[in-house]
Structure 1
Amino acid sequence: MSGIKIIVITFLLCLFIINSICKNDICINKSNGFYADYTSLNCQTFYFCFNETLNKTLQCLNSSEPIFSTYRQRCIGVNPLYDECYLVNINENHENCAWFSVQLSTTSNLTYHYSCLYPFLFDLESKGCKHYSQVQCNQRFEPKDACDYHHPQIHSSIDERPCWLIPSCRNKTNGFHGNQLQECSSYYECKDERFLNLTTCPKNMHFSDKSKTCLITLSNCENSTKF
């Protein structure tokens, strides 16, 4: 009996090690974000990748929204006409480097259109959204402004903010720039002609493009900001 127990324990330990290795490899070549676990029952389980490493595993707990959608980045309700657990094909869009389409077997190969989250781009080799520095757009248009990401056939976006509220960094140098939309009471950071973040100046202060700091003055918007 002791010999059988040792064999069983050894077998279970091997399964645990193999499973751990597979779990750790699941995030390789994937950008930061949440992904549906297509091996789980009805995609109820999903996981979070960070720096190509598995960070944590989660599960959709709301009975009315039991399926995790990778492309919507949230749990969704069951829909017999739409189930990402049965993907047929994922294709790039030849016009825009951030757009791609998904065909689903449950809808007679009906095609759904998506856009990567800003500022990620769609990678042809991995068939997924990756950091823009890791993607070659070639002949496809390379979007740099938030409004460039809005696909005409997508009626709802993960980011509900109007894209024009996100300042444009196109043709701007790396660094900080005053936000003219708010009379330079805030400023934003650009890198590689892409918006990174927005920071608000202390009360009654405004950002100076010349000194690159917040000052107590009324006229500090030296450079025009286009949206």
Structure 2
Amino acid sequence: MDNLRLLSASTVLFFQILLLTKIRSQPLMDNVDQQRSNFHTDMKIDKMKTLLNDFEDRLEKMTLQLKTVQANKDSLYGKYDDLMRMYSTGETPEDETIDTICSRHPELIMQTSNDCHTYYNCSGDTVLFGRGPMYNVWPSKYKHECHYPLVFSTETLQCENYTDVDCGSRFLPTWACLYFRNQCMGSHCTPCDVTFPNCENKSDGLWPQPSKGFSPWYMICENNRTLRTGQCPNDEEWSATSFPYNGECVHIFAIPSDYDSNGLLPSCKGKVDGNYQYKERCDAFYKCENGMASAIKCPQNTIFDSVKRSCEVGGMCS
């Protein structure tokens, strides 16, 4: 009976402790829930602040871009207004009159009357830098010249690619040496045609540079203009120098001697079809077919057998 009473008392005490623990822990749990809610709220606020800052940055950049566009537009309109006022008074800019005209129209930018690659700019000194005393003949600090192959656009009032400009009746130069800035004016400067080989009257593609003679130097032509120049690389398979020939870089053993005396591909004129040995080397041969010669390299570890007339391992090459 005493044991039963003791058990009952212990049970009551246990539940009292459990109830007390729950009562005391409830505020702590409520505090944790509140902190979790505050944490998520703070995260949302921080995210909104970040998005808002990004939006403000983009808005500021767009506003700056719009101001720049508007400023350029106002400047362009101002230049056109100057141009219209000048035309209304019957003034026509020429090299002899441009200094006087610029004094009255400081914002004027316009084409020259004859050339598509030159223009007048009354807002500042010319950017044309010379290479000798002959540049003293340049008529005015207000006359400018585009860089090759750019020409002056009457729409944008600046130098643009020649493909984007209608020059009308104005002279459109295709060779860089027709630009004043590229001409050799001194006694010790490099001639212009050496620096800028001429592609006029040549079809599009790769050509030898005329001033270099028989050499690896080439030029790339397009629309009668020289796009770029360069030097043919060595042919690694043939271990030989390459040269411009028929629109591509070709090793010297594939360049016919009939084309240039420096070429090492013999002529097949008067020869029957077949394979023939180069006198300069045994690891290759040239093939004659219908009077045309072609260069052929022997496979690795073989040489051209002058008797069998084919590439052989251990072949006999005379």
- Normalising by structure 1, what TM-score? 0.53
Residue in 1 aligned with 2:85?
Answer: none
Residue in 2 aligned with 1:119?
Answer: 149
Residue in 1 aligned with 2:115?
Answer: 96
Pairs within 5 Å for 1:29-178: 88-104=107-123, 111-150=141-180, 162-165=191-194, 166-178=196-208
3-state SS in 2 of match to 1:16: helix
TM-superposition CA deviations, 1:163-216 (whole Å, max 9, x none) = 322111111101100113223321110111110111202356242433622322
Residue in 1 aligned with 2:241?
Answer: 205
**Structure 1: which 5+ residue stretches go unaligned?**
1-8, 29-37, 39-85, 223-227
Q: Which structure has the highest helix share of the two?
A: 2
Judged with a 3 Å threshold, the aligned counterparts in structure 2 of structure 1 residues 101 and 205 are, in CA distance, closer, same or farther, namely same
Deviation at 1:20, TM superposition (A): 4.1
Identical amino acids, percent of aligned pairs: 23
1:187 maps to 2:218: yes
RMSD of the TM alignment (CA)? Answer: 3.9
Amino acid at match of 2:117: A
3-state SS in 1 of match to 2:178: helix
Amino acid at match of 2:63: I
- Do 1:87 and 1:103's aligned partners in 2 also have CA atoms closer than 8 Å? yes
**Structure 2: which 5+ residue stretches go unaligned?**
1-52, 76-104, 126-139, 235-239, 262-318
- Do 2:175 and 2:198's aligned partners in 1 also have CA atoms closer than 8 Å? yes
- Measure, in 2, the Cα distance between the counterparts of 1:170 and 1:129: 22
3-state SS in 2 of match to 1:19: helix
- Measure, in 1, the Cα distance between the counterparts of 2:117 and 2:63: 35
- Measure, in 1, the Cα distance between the counterparts of 2:179 and 2:164: 18
1:15 maps to 2:60: yes
- Do 1:97 and 1:122's aligned partners in 2 also have CA atoms closer than 8 Å? yes
3-state SS in 2 of match to 1:104: coil
Amino acid at match of 1:210: N
Amino acid at match of 1:150: F
Judged with a 3 Å threshold, the aligned counterparts in structure 2 of structure 1 residues 22 and 202 are, in CA distance, closer, same or farther, namely same
Amino acid at match of 1:186: W
Deviation at 1:149, TM superposition (A): 1.4
Amino acid at match of 2:218: Y
- Measure, in 1, the Cα distance between the counterparts of 2:66 and 2:206: 43
Deviation at 1:99, TM superposition (A): 0.7
Deviation at 1:112, TM superposition (A): 1.7
- Do 1:99 and 1:151's aligned partners in 2 also have CA atoms closer than 8 Å? no
Amino acid at match of 1:17: M
- Measure, in 2, the Cα distance between the counterparts of 1:126 and 1:117: 16
TM-superposition CA deviations, 1:68-105 (whole Å, max 9, x none) = xxxxxxxxxxxxxxxxxx95211211221101121138
Higher RCO, 1 vs 2 (CA within 8 Å, ≥6 residues apart)? 1
TM-superposition CA deviations, 1:29-70 (whole Å, max 9, x none) = xxxxxxxxx9xxxxxxxxxxxxxxxxxxxxxxxxxxxxxxxx
Q: Which structure has the highest strand share of the two?
A: 1
Instruction: From the CA coordinates, give the structure whose radius of gyration is larger.
Output: 2
3-state SS in 1 of match to 2:64: helix
- Do 1:174 and 1:192's aligned partners in 2 also have CA atoms closer than 8 Å? yes
Deviation at 1:162, TM superposition (A): 4.9
Residue in 2 aligned with 1:216?
Answer: 252
- Do 1:90 and 1:103's aligned partners in 2 also have CA atoms closer than 8 Å? yes
Aligned length: 149
